[in-house]
Every structure is written in structure tokens, then in C-alpha cells.
Structure 1
Amino acid sequence: MEVRHLRLIKEVADKGSLSKAKDSLFLSQSALSHQLREVESKLGAPVFHRVNKKLVLTGAGKILLEYAEKILTELESAEIAVKKYVGGDKGTLRVGTECYTTYHWLPGLMMSFQKEFPNVEIEICPEANGERCQQLLEGKLDLAIVSGEVNNANLEMTELFSDELLCLVPVNHPFAKKKYLVAEDFRDEKLIIHSLPLETVTLFNRVLIPEGVQPQRVTPIQVTEAAIEMIKAGMGIKVAAKWIIEPYLHDDKLTVVPVTKNGLYRTWYAATLKQEDTPQYVANFIHQLRCHVAGICG
């Protein structure tokens, strides 16, 4: 049985005749008669009795009407909810990440998101990379993409995905023959990092600083392509996420080495303020973000 059949039963029961129901259903009387015969054929029982030129529900018809009203009410509620979900919310979503390289996630995601929420403007906030959660607390961001969980009662942390960091080196580098690297291996190296301060760099805060190791030289370079060319030229090495490095591994001048015996992994989170009136579009953006980056970085 189809929704149109349920609407027919409800309207005819309300109006008392096919001729009166046809206008609200935008169908001819003959079309309604045909639909009614379809319903009765499916049920194997009459739905209406004709009493003094009026259609009155049979026992089977009363049962059907009871369910029809419930189903049609639920469908109407669903339609209203979807319309509100898609077009009812308006606002601005200010997004920041702690790492500039993650911004290549966003264009495809934004296009998909704004098909559902055309009235929501997304603002990308690239400045002040290091203190994203503090910016959330200060009201400067609505959503922060960060690596590592932050323990703060005022923040909601939603896990997105995990990635592995690998050391990218020239194929003729001594590290290329190692199964994995330890902190001491980096002491005499020229290390290229993405940005300062060192305490925010995973290699430093998880591996080097705990072991008291300082590389020979540390050079911050935010442009990945520039860092890659320097590595090819033997001017340094770099520890970066596998998903960042992979596009460059087709070059036979480069190879990767794991960091530590068990590997160096980090977990990414979407951080938002805990509040009761969080717009629906924020939760939707996080859901789409999780699916999007899992496909790219998983």
C-alpha cells in the first residue's frame, strides 16, 4: 500500500464522498475510484459502505484510518524536520585547524555541506594556528580541528580519525636502511618542521623533548612542496603524516621510515563549545568532516 492510498482514505473519511475529496487530493473522481478499488483489492475487504449517498468507514476501514493518520502525521513531521534541517538554520560557522596542511580537506567538504545548508556561511580562520581550543573558549571560533584530546569541561571533543607520522628522507640517507627511528637518531639531523612553537610539533612533544634531544638545526617551512624539494636536495628530513607524504612517494628519490618501534600516531578531534543551543548545522558539519577525512586520510 502506498502513501497516496492512505491520504485517499483519510480525505474520503473526512469529506464523506469522493467528489468532495477530489479537490484536496488534486485528482479526478474516476482516479480516486480507481485508487479505492486498488486499496480494497489489496486488503481483500471493503473500506467504505455507502449510506444515504455518503461513504462511511467499514470496520476494516476504521482500522486502516487509524494507521493512516499515524503514518501521515509522522511523514508530515519528517518533512517539516528536514526542511528546517536544510533551510531553516542560518548562521556562520568559523572553522580553524591547528595545522595548515589540513586545509586541503575543506573545499570538497564545504561544497557538499552547503548543498544541505545553503544559508550557512563557512569562514576559514587560518591565523594563530597554535591555540585553537583557547580561541573556542574566547568565542573566536565555532569549531576547531585539533590533534590530541583536550581535557576541558567546557569543550566537546568528537573523534575524527587517527593517522601515522613517518620520516621522509632521501633514498641515499642512512635512515633509509633503518627499520624505525628513535629520538637519538635525530640529534645530528637538519629537521624541517611545519611551524613553531616546537612544543606543538608532535615529534618534539612526544619523542624528542621527553628524551632531551635537540636536532642540529630546525627549519620551519609551511609550504609542503618547498619542504619536499629541500629533502630531495639533501638539505634536511621531515616527519609528517602518511596522508601528506603519500602523493610524493612515486618519486624514486624519496622514502619513508617509521618513527619509534611502535610507530608515531596521533588522533584528530573536532572541538566545539559545550552548549545546549548548538545549531544543527554544526553537528552535521562534524559528521560530514569525519566521513570526508576518513576517505582521504584513513
Structure 2
Amino acid sequence: MVAEKKNFSRAAEELHMTQPAVSQYIRTLEENIGARLLERTNKYVRLTKAGDIVYHHAKEIVGLYTKMQKLVDDLTNNASGPLAIGASFTFGEYVLPKLIAKLQETYPEIEPAVTIGNTTEIAELVTSHQLDVGIVEGKFKQQQLKEDKFAEDHMVVVASPYHELANKERVQLDDLEDVTWIIREQGSGTREATDNMFHSLGITPKKVMNFGSTQPIKEGVEAGLGISLLSKWAIQKELRNEELKMLHVKGLPFKRQFSIITTSPFQTKALEVFIDLLHHNKPLTTFNSKH
């Protein structure tokens, strides 16, 4: 808590302890570890290199301890308690809220906490036991994660209705190279899908702009900054309102898989019912047939 708050007083307040008690705990920990963990001055408190190592592993230890206790509690109780869910931006922002609402209807004692990030970030948090489950698209480095592909996503190229390509009956590959593309950052599943599409179509756009999430990309496309490859999940509202238009490109829509990722073979009841919900609520992951 001291590392996260960067302040002894704020950590003590958060932990409902006195500042001297927090300081004593830190001193005892440093003695047990055999190294100084925090640099303290009048202006700041920050982790030493040893402290950074201890903090990183302590997060994993706390995550594992909490999971162990919950698994034991589940032997005699119904699905309840905290459930740490991570999701990549597309699924987390446009599909997950409906699923969590459905989860709360059936299991009101489950306490979901959601973290949204790109695929790489979510995979790292699941690996370090800071998340119980992740929902991601694209590839990730962590070989130890259990991957369960459960949904297919269709991705399409979109433009403003007033864009020069919007009224073309069939967009040519040369057209796609000559316009500005707005794309996601490295590490994003959507960025990986975009790079794969460029490769499969054999095109190299002359100008690209990188944005950190889907929402500003949609707004940029709508404003006429350029075109983009986006999930149909993310643009349903804009298509209905005719704020964005799908371009007719040979070889599209581009398809990708969404996966559930976990670490431990043991699952809490809360996690079991959530994964079951993901597998059995296909209506929430289908698209409006009109579009």
C-alpha cells in the first residue's frame, strides 16, 4: 500500500492504521528480506530495485492466497464473493457490460471487478494472478495460460458517410493504400488483426495514425480523419445511426477468435458460473442481421 500510495500517511489511512505502525511493519519486512525496499525523503517514497522485486511477487502471493481461500470457502457455499475479470477493449467495452448485468441478476452475491486493457496487458495480469480470468483476442506470449476459444468476431473497414470511399460500390486495394488509416497501438488484438489484414491484402498504407482505444478511433473516423478496421461489436450503434459506413472490400469481413484465458486448473464457483455464462449466451455476441 505504501508503494501504491507513494506515501506512509495515505497508506496508513487506507489500512486504518497509525503511521508508526505502518513504518514498523515496513522495517520488519526489510529486516526479514535483508534489503532496503523503499527510498524515503521529505519529498517522495519510492521502491528500490529490491522493493520492486518484492512488490511484484507480493502481488502474486496475495492473489494466490485470496484464490486459495475462496476455493476452500466454495466447498460449502454458493457462488459469491469477488471475481476479478479482465477484458481487451473491444469485448470489455461493448459486450462485457451486458454479460455482467446478466450475471448479477442470477448471482447477486458475486462481486465482479473489471479491468480493461489491451490483450498483452490482460494476459500479464492473469499470469500474475491479479485477475481470475481474461477475455482477449489475438496472440499472447504466456505459454502457461489455459486458452478456451469461445466466440468469433467479424471485423470490417469503416469510414465516415462523407468519406471519398463511402459511396464506392467496391473499394479497390489501391484506394486503401492511398487513404489515411487510424489504427490501435502495438499489443492490441485489434492492431494485430489490422496488421494481419494489411498482410493478407498485400497493402501498405501511405499514412497511419495510432490511437490508444476504440472510442477515439470511431470519433476520428466519423470526423473524416481516415478509415479503420473495427469489430462489428464496437460499431452497432454507429451503423444504426448512420454515423459510420462499412466499406465493401473483397476478402472482408476479417474474422478473429475471442478466447477465455485462465491460469489455475481449480476454479471458484464464481468463476465457473461466469465462464458458463460466456459459453451459453451467444445472443449477446451476435450481430444485428440488418448490418
Tell me, yes or no, whether TM beats 0.5. yes
Aligned residue among 111, 124, 130 for 1:134 = 124
> Structure 1 regions of 5+ residues with no counterpart?
1-83
Alignment-mate amino acid for residue 213 of structure 2: Q
Q: Please report how far the alpha carbon of residue 222 of structure 1 lies from its aligned counterpart in structure 2 after TM superposition.
A: 2.8
Aligned residue among 273, 276, 284 for 1:287 = 276
State which structure, 1 or 2, has the greater radius of gyration over its C-alpha atoms.
1
Q: Please report how far the alpha carbon of residue 117 of structure 1 lies from its aligned counterpart in structure 2 after TM superposition.
A: 3.3
Q: Deviations over 1:90-127 (max 9, x none)?
A: 44211111225633423332233234433332111125
Q: Deviations over 1:153-202 (max 9, x none)?
A: 632222221121111113342364153564x5443322223x31177413
Q: 1:259 to 1:113 in 2, by over 3 A?
A: same
Q: Please report how far the alpha carbon of residue 145 of structure 1 lies from its aligned counterpart in structure 2 after TM superposition.
A: 0.5
The answer to whether the 8 A contact 2:177-2:206 is kept is yes
Aligned residue among 250, 253, 258 for 1:263 = 253
Residue 216 of structure 1 is matched in structure 2 by: 207
Q: Please report how far the alpha carbon of residue 270 of structure 1 lies from its aligned counterpart in structure 2 after TM superposition.
A: 1.1
TM-score between the two structures when normalised by the length of structure 1: 0.58
> Structure 2 regions of 5+ residues with no counterpart?
1-73
Residue 122 of structure 1 is matched in structure 2 by: 112
Q: Match of 1:126, SS? A: strand
Residue 92 of structure 1 is matched in structure 2 by: 82
Q: 1:128 to 1:149 in 2, by over 3 A?
A: closer
Residue 229 of structure 2 is matched in structure 1 by: 239
Q: Match of 2:267, SS? A: coil
Aligned residue among 179, 192, 195 for 1:189 = 179
Q: Match of 1:213, SS? A: coil
Aligned residue among 189, 194, 198 for 1:204 = 194
The answer to whether the 8 A contact 2:211-2:217 is kept is no
Query: Over aligned residue pairs, what C-alpha RMSD do you find?
Result: 3.3
Q: Please report how far the alpha carbon of residue 146 of structure 1 lies from its aligned counterpart in structure 2 after TM superposition.
A: 0.8
Q: Match of 2:247, SS? A: strand
Residue 7 of structure 2 is matched in structure 1 by: none
Residue 174 of structure 1 is matched in structure 2 by: 165
1:35-50 equivalences in 2 (<5 Å):
none
1:38-77 equivalences in 2 (<5 Å):
none
How many residues are matched? 211
The answer to whether the 8 A contact 1:90-1:119 is kept is yes
Q: Please report how far the alpha carbon of residue 294 of structure 1 lies from its aligned counterpart in structure 2 after TM superposition.
A: 3.8
> Could you list the runs of 4 or more consecutive aligned residues of structure 1 that deviate by over 6 angstroms after TM superposition?
none
